[in-house]
Structure 1
């Protein structure tokens, strides 16, 4: 799983753009986009650079936040507290 920090993601339209970009780069990707923390956690077999490029092509600036997170450390309790405050209005799940 990879985490991307997207500073320019400020609204639902931006989150939708990120969602479409991720699905364009890897149709089989699973992503959790959190508008509140402006992050996207992406589970993909593709190169994370391809995901980053796809998001940047949507005119949003992206920082590759954490690199590969091992499956053992990918549990919710292992993420920083600020990164996991989902609510119905600011969390979009892709499948």
Structure 2
């Protein structure tokens, strides 16, 4: 399980965009988003750096 803190996430559109970006990087990824805590959990065989890059490209850079 890979966890990201995504401070820029604020609405349902953000959740959809983040989920789509992660699933483009890994179509088999299981994504769980907690909008209130701004946390994203990803179950994926893809490495963390690739998933973080996908989030950044979508405009939702994870916090370090």
TM bucket normalised to smaller: over 0.9
Matching residue of 1:51? 51
CA RMSD of aligned residues (A): 1.0
TM-score (norm 2): 0.93
> What SS class does the counterpart of residue 61 from structure 1 fall into?
coil
Structure 1: which 5+ runs fail to align? 65-95
- Deviating beyond 2 angstroms after TM superposition, the runs of 4 or more aligned structure 1 residues are none
Query: Deviations along 1:16-69, whole A, 9 cap, x unmatched?
Result: 1100011000000111111111110111000111111001101112125xxxxx
TM-score (norm 1): 0.64
Is 1:3 aligned to residue 3 of structure 2? yes
Structure 2: which 5+ runs fail to align? none
